[in-house]
């Protein structure tokens, strides 16, 4: 083994240093937020009633579940169906497909504050839904549409063509083939994408506060306002009057996001193994 | 026979349903463009294109109000440049590590770690910035700590996973013959990676930087929580002073603005939207070139 030149050694150390800094950033953020927050997590944080004295995250938690559920109901069928069209029906390279791809890429690149602004002026003001569960869910579902489309497309493409040929050969039509053969085979991949989308929704703030609003209560109808965990976190951090609750809420939020990420990559790994 | 006639109708009906779903993205982009531009462009026109884009004073509550967003355009520029300064060198070397230096067992841990870094919500980054970075910058450099520098540091952290992930796949996309050729000619591993493979992957690496720029320009909550948000035109040497970005301008005032003020915020959104679209177009052009 010949000796390393100084410049090579320097570059070698530099790559280790840079990955070290990256890992350090992760540990610093995750470690700080969780260690600092866990000791402030107490039962009162999950009290059903939110009061100025007890900044419970319960309404935000319920609001988050509602937004996640409603957005998925809107975005998952739409995203999965469009991916089915792109992969199973459309002619490759047709004009329509090109436009769909271009607009999907556009959606993926729009910053969340622009979604918030659009949701506010379109769903809130133009359609008159105001700050509501419905405004929030519609806005967020447009936001996650590209993610669902892309992951579904990838998992549909990974289903071997022999499945399709076999099904067609046995006399099944295209729809039957897609619904009975292709979609079941692609389900784990789609699920991993959906879970990723859930993580995105939970972490979203800028698009939420101008559409769903940021009021600490459980929405009592589709047209009622509320907040999500991230919006609650934002409010706590801004007000600065309840540092303990802010620490605890940040930790809860981060733990939820970590669990969701882990679940998604566990499913992805499960697909690779099978 | 009954079933056959049913499927006879089901096939075309399903196809129409799928086509309609695929149109959703087109409709969404159409609506976003129409509503943003329809409400934003008249506002820009009323304020005057020059007064709006190059005006140095943002006084929405004055009579008459002043709607100049130059401080915010410059503010976005500063924090993005700062983020690039911190994030890009670290990100590229880390990507080179992931693609060419990383031992396999370590890779299995690092890959999900970098994905997690991308998954942390921006409000959590912002909270971390507020409680850790702001006091840190205040202690070391003085000032309030809510500054261009702090926002740049935080954004630099936030764009790391974008740069690492895309640069890594760009480096991996380079055929191994190129690396092996360099080794066969006597180059060391480091030399082959940094002098041969990395230059070959440069348009993919550029694409990662551009996407990072897009992320940094569009980031809202985290920046808003650490940057101080003064709508004042800053000079580059004032990096320890606070600044306000285009995104922060919207998020700070949209909640209570009405009339011309609200329209001017929508116009701010239009400017942001156009910036980000230009950046993304550049990204997809580079991506096509490299096939990442």
A126, B35: Cβ pair inside 8 Å? yes
Please tell me whether residues B97 and B211 are part of one structural domain.
Answer: yes
A117 CB within 8 Å of a chain B CB: yes
A246, B127: Cβ pair inside 8 Å? yes
Please tell me whether residues B141 and B274 are part of one structural domain.
Answer: yes
Choosing from B40, B59, B78, the residue where a domain stops is: B59
- The helix/strand/coil state of B243 is strand
Please tell me whether residues B164 and B241 are part of one structural domain.
Answer: yes
Taking the C-alpha atoms of residue B41 and residue B277, their distance in angstroms, rounded to an integer, is 16
**Mean pLDDT across the stretch B255-282?**
93
In angstroms, what CA-CA distances link A252 with A35, B122, B227?
11, 15, 25
Q: How many domains are there within chain B?
A: 2
Please tell me whether residues B78 and B147 are part of one structural domain.
Answer: yes
Give the pLDDT score at B262.
Answer: 94
| Ramachandran angles phi, psi of B121, nearest 5° | -60, 150
pLDDT category at B9 given cuts 50, 70, 90 is: confident
In a domain, B161, yes or no: yes
CB of B65 closer than 8 Å to CB of B81: no
Please tell me whether residues B81 and B188 are part of one structural domain.
Answer: yes
A173 CB within 8 Å of a chain B CB: yes
CA distance A4 to chain B (A): 8
Of B15, B18, B27, B226, which to mutate for an interface test with A (greatest number of A Cβ within 10 Å)? B18
- What percent of chain B clears pLDDT 90, i.e. is strictly above it? 85
**Residue of chain A minimizing CA distance to B263:** A121
Name chain A contacts of B125, Cβ cutoff 8 Å: 29
A34 CB within 8 Å of a chain B CB: no
Does residue B76 have a pLDDT over 80?
Answer: yes
Does residue B212 have a pLDDT over 90?
Answer: yes
> Where exactly are the structural domains of chain A?
43-273
pLDDT tens digits along A176-199: 999 999 999 999 889 989 999 999
- What percent of chain B clears pLDDT 70, i.e. is strictly above it? 96
* Six token digits for residue A215: 């009021």
In angstroms, what CA-CA distances link B98 with A202, A269, B22, B111?
29, 19, 36, 8
Does residue B2 have a pLDDT over 60?
Answer: no
Please tell me whether residues B195 and B257 are part of one structural domain.
Answer: yes
Of B26, B113, B127, which to mutate for an interface test with A (greatest number of A Cβ within 10 Å)? B127
In a domain, B65, yes or no: no
Of B10, B16, B32, which to mutate for an interface test with A (greatest number of A Cβ within 10 Å)? B32
Taking the C-alpha atoms of residue A198 and residue B72, their distance in angstroms, rounded to an integer, is 32
Q: Write the CATH number of the domain with boundaries A43-273.
A: 1.10.3720.10
A19, B98: Cβ pair inside 8 Å? yes
Closest partner CB to B276 (pick from A82, A110, A118): A110
Please tell me whether residues B142 and B30 are part of one structural domain.
Answer: no
B190, A12: Cβ pair inside 8 Å? yes
Q: Which structural domain, as residue segments, surrounds residue B195? A: 70-290
Taking the C-alpha atoms of residue B151 and residue B131, their distance in angstroms, rounded to an integer, is 13
Give the CA count within 13 Å in the CB-facing half-sphere of A30: 18
B121, A107: Cβ pair inside 8 Å? no
Sign of CA dihedral A219, A224, A226, A228: positive
A90 CB within 8 Å of a chain B CB: yes
B113: CATH: 1.10.3720.10
B1 CB within 8 Å of a chain A CB: no
Residues with Cβ within 8 Å of residue B212, at least 6 apart in sequence: B83, B84, B87, B88, B91, B159, B162, B163
β-partners of residue B66 are B59
Q: What is the pTM of this model?
A: 0.92
**Residue of chain A minimizing CA distance to B281:** A106
| Ramachandran angles phi, psi of B228, nearest 5° | 90, -35
For A269, other C-beta atoms within 10 Å of its C-beta total 12
Where is pLDDT greater, at A268 or B84? B84
In a domain, B89, yes or no: yes
Average pLDDT along chain A: 92
Of A7, A15, A33, which to mutate for an interface test with B (greatest number of B Cβ within 10 Å)? A15
Sign of CA dihedral A60, A132, B126, B117: positive
CA distance B232 to chain A (A): 21
| Burial of residue B259 (number of CB atoms within 10 Å: 0-12, 13-18, 19+) | exposed
pLDDT category at B1 given cuts 50, 70, 90 is: very low
Name chain B contacts of A82, Cβ cutoff 8 Å: 18, 21-25
B195 CB within 8 Å of a chain A CB: no
Low-confidence residues of chain A, pLDDT below 70? 1-3, 274
| Ramachandran angles phi, psi of A249, nearest 5° | -65, -40
In a domain, B64, yes or no: no
H helices, E strands: number in chain B: 14, 2
Choosing from B11, B34, B59, the residue where a domain stops is: B59
Please tell me whether residues B134 and B170 are part of one structural domain.
Answer: yes
């Amino acid at each position: 083994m010949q000796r390393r030149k100084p410049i090579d050694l320097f570059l070698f150390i530099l790559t280790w240093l840079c990955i070290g800094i990256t890992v350090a950033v992760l540990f610093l953020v995750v470690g700080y937020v969780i260690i600092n927050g866990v000791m402030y997590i107490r039962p009162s944080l999950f009290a059903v009633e939110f009061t100025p004295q007890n900044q419970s995250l319960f309404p935000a938690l319920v609001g988050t579940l509602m937004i996640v559920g409603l957005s998925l109901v809107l975005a998952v069928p739409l995203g999965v169906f469009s991916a089915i069209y792109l992969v199973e029906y459309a002619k490759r390279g047709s004009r329509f497909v090109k436009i769909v791809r271009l607009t999907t890429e556009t959606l993926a690149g729009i910053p969340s504050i622009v979604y918030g602004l659009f949701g506010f002026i379109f769903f809130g003001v133009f359609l008159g839904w105001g700050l509501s569960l419905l405004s929030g869910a519609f806005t967020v579902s447009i936001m996650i549409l590209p993610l669902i489309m892309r992951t579904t497309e990838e998992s549909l493409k990974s289903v071997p063509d022999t499945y399709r040929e076999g099904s067609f050969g046995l006399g099944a039509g295209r729809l039957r083939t897609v619904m009975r053969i292709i979609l079941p085979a692609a389900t784990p991949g789609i699920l991993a994408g959906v879970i990723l989308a859930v993580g995105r929704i939970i972490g979203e703030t800028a698009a939420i506060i101008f559409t769903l609003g940021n009021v600490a209560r459980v929405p009592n109808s589709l047209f009622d306002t509320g907040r999500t965990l991230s919006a609650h976190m934002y409010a706590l951090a801004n007000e600065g009057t309840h540092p303990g609750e802010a620490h605890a809420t940040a930790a809860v939020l981060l733990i939820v996001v970590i669990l969701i990420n882990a679940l998604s990559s566990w499913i992805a790994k499960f697909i690779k193994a099978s | 026979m009954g079933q056959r006639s049913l499927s006879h109708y089901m096939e075309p009906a399903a196809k129409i349903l799928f086509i309609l779903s695929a149109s959703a993205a087109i409709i969404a982009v159409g609506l976003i463009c129409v509503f943003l531009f329809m409400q934003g462009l008249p506002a820009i026109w009323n304020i005057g294109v020059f007064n709006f884009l190059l005006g140095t004073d943002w006084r929405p509550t004055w009579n008459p109000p002043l709607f100049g967003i130059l401080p915010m355009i410059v503010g976005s520029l500063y924090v993005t440049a700062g983020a690039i300064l911190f994030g890009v060198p670290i990100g590229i070397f880390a990507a080179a590590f992931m693609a060419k230096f990383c031992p396999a067992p370590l890779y299995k841990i690092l890959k999900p770690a970098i994905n997690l870094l991308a998954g942390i919500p921006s409000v959590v980054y912002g909270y971390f910035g507020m409680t850790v970075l702001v006091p840190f910058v205040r202690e070391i450099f003085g000032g309030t700590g809510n500054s261009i520098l702090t926002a740049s540091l935080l954004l630099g952290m936030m764009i790391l996973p974008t740069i690492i992930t895309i640069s890594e796949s760009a480096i991996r996309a380079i055929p191994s013959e190129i690396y092996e050729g360099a080794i066969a000619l006597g180059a060391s591993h480091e030399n082959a990676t940094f002098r041969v493979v990395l230059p070959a992957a440069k348009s993919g690496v550029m694409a990662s930087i551009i996407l990072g720029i897009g992320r940094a320009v569009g980031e809202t909550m985290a920046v808003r929580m650490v940057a101080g948000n003064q709508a004042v035109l800053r000079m580059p040497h004032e990096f320890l002073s606070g600044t306000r970005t285009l995104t922060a301008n919207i998020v700070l005032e949209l909640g209570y603005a009405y009339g011309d003020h609200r329209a001017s915020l929508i116009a701010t959104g239009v400017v942001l939207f156009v910036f980000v679209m230009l950046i993304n177009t550049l990204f997809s052009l580079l991506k096509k070139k490299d096939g990442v």
